[in-house]
Every structure is written in C-alpha cells, then in structure tokens.
Amino acid sequence: MKSFTIIFSSLVIFSVLFGACKKSKNTPSAGDMLVGKWKTSSYGYDVNHNSVIDSSENTPYPDSVSNYTVFNSGGSGELLVTKNGTTDTQTWFSWSLASNNIDVTTIRTKGSSSYISLSDTTTYHIGVLSATDLQLTIVAGSSGLNWQNYKKQ
C-alpha cells in the first residue's frame, strides 16, 4: 500500500509539473498572416528554367517605384503602383485561399491597369509567408516560374 501511495503521488506531481509547462499554440492562420499591406521588395523570372530562384534572377524593386498590395480581411484587396510619386496603377481585387492555404486566388474587380483585364483570375502559390515576409510565385507560360517578394509594412 505504501508503494502504491508513492507511485500515485509521483504520477500526480509529474502530471502537474509537465501539464503546467504546455505552451499555447495560437499560431495565426495563413489568412490572418496574409492580411495587411505588403510592399514588393524584389521580383524575378526563372531564366534558366531550373525551378529555383537563383540570386542572379532576383531583381530588387527600384526606389522610383512603389508597389503595394493590400489584403484586407473579408477577402478584398488593392494593388497600388506609383512611379516617381505618380499613381500608375490602382486595381481592386477579391482574394481567397485555395489548396489547403498554400495558394491565393485573386480576381480583379475594378481599376486602372494596362496589364490586367477586368475579371482576370490569377492563382499564386505562397512560397513564403511569415509575419514580415511574403513570396508569391506563378508559372506563366513559356517564361516559366515568376515571383514577387514582399515585406509587410
């Protein structure tokens, strides 16, 4: 009986000590992390078609151009490009996550853009998503893999 009490007491103490050490795992969802204002920091094309983003293929955005993409909660968003302080492109879109939150699909809803048609639907693969960094990739025809890297503002 004495050994049962010792074993039982040890189990209770062990459970309390290790149960109290559990850390909360409140990891934000991909959608929550995507929401916010992102500034394009660089872009590139897989010139040698090796499906790897080589440093020689990555081009920093010039200081004269500001490219912001805003993902709002609720699935709306905006793309705003300024060149030398003048608005060049302003486009609104809806967005949703797809493929178990590893892709984001955008549909242009309105705006002024010479290179995106109204109602164009584009699905990007999320290569990197953290509290500060975002990388979206897309395979675009014969040019192969294209990407944009963003920093959260």
Residue ranges per structural domain of the chain: 25-152
Q: Which amino acid is at 61?
A: Y
pLDDT of the residue at 116: 55
140 vs 92 pLDDT, higher one: 92
pLDDT of the residue at 153: 95
Separation of alpha carbons 120 and 146, rounded Å: 17
Q: What is the pTM of this model?
A: 0.76
Per-residue pLDDT at 115 exceeds 80: no
Indicate the class that CATH gives domain 25-152. mainly beta
Average pLDDT in the chain: 83
Which stretch of 83-87, 134-138, 139-143 has the lowest confidence by average pLDDT?
A: 139-143
Separation of alpha carbons 3 and 6, rounded Å: 5
Do 108 and 91 form a contact (C-beta atoms < 8 A)?
Answer: yes
pLDDT of the residue at 20: 53
pLDDT digits (tens, 9 = 90+) for 27-66: 899 999 999 999 999 999 998 888 888 999 999 988 898 9
Do 104 and 96 form a contact (C-beta atoms < 8 A)?
Answer: yes
pLDDT bin (cut points 50, 70, 90) of residue 110 is confident
Per-residue pLDDT at 131 exceeds 60: yes
Query: How open is the CA angle 34-60-78, to the nearest 5 degrees?
Result: 35
Per-residue pLDDT at 8 exceeds 70: no
Contact partners, residue 48, CB within 8 Å, separation at least 6: 54, 57
Q: Which residues pair with 66 in a beta bridge?
A: 82
What mean pLDDT is predicted for residues 7-20? 48
145 vs 9 pLDDT, higher one: 145
26 vs 92 pLDDT, higher one: 92
